[in-house]
Amino acid sequence: MSHLALLYMGCEGQTRKITERIDYCLTQSGHDTVVISIAELKDDFSLESFDGVILGSSIRYGKHHRECYQFIEKYSDQLSTIPSYFFSVNLTARKPERRDPHNNRYLQKFLKQISWTPDRVEVFAGALLYTQYHWVDKQMIRLIMKLTGGPTDITQNTEFTDWRRVKAFAEQLNQDLQRVSRPVATYGKQSVEHGSAMNVF
């Protein structure tokens, strides 16, 4: 089986939670995994010892984390040599039509801005954690929710993550990684580039 790096960048812990669920599914399938926050990576970190990498990032105010962009810029050459995957975590994906990677504008914008083409991408709805936000963030996010029809009670937290989708994504990654021929991964990259089906269903 594969030796995999599962890397994530988030704020309140939902992206880490999703990463850990993917990790659980992959280890159950026999893969050897390491889960690391991008923010905790050391300067001498390398992907050379890994057979594949899964990278996840949440967004805040319409943008994926700066650290995620910096990681991709630094390791783009290494990412291109092994099976590599990306998932985005955002509240827009709480709406069914925005769960499709093709219809999630945040993900599409992100893919156009980076120098890496993942073999497979996915989008997951995150969590609305009012009780964990700083006052300014709480008010801003509440306003965004009011404008977009989301929950506005700042005393309540809401988890939108569909864990069945997370499991399905992990299962698809396992299938991808069990294929020994690299052309399958290349096909995945072409799928992203040319806009054909990227979803895991």
Strands 52-60 and 63-64: antiparallel
The model's pLDDT over 80-100, given as tens digits with 9 standing for 90+, comes to: 999 999 999 998 889 888 888
Specify the pLDDT at position 47. Answer: 94
Pick the CATH number of 3-126+161-194 from 3.40.50.360, 3.40.190.10, 3.40.250.10, 3.40.50.720: 3.40.50.360
Rounded to 5°, the CA angle 71-89-148 comes to 130
Q: Is the per-residue pLDDT at 173 higher than 90? A: yes
Rounded to whole angstroms, what are the CA distances from 112 to 19, 119, 173? 23, 15, 23
Q: What is d(CA 58, CA 123) in angstroms, rounded to the nearest whole number? A: 10
**Domain residue spans of the chain:** 3-126+161-194, 128-159
The DSSP element (H or E) to which 188 belongs, if any, is: helix 183-194
Total-model pTM: 0.83
What was the pLDDT predicted at 110? 93
Of residues 168 and 192, more confidence is placed in 168
Over residues 27-35, mean pLDDT: 95
Q: What is the CA radius of gyration of the chain?
A: 17
Q: What is the per-residue pLDDT for 40?
A: 94
Residues 6 or more apart in contact with residue 158 via CB below 8 angstroms: 127, 128, 151
Instruction: Give residue 183's pLDDT band: very low, low, confident or very high (50, 70, 90).
Output: very low
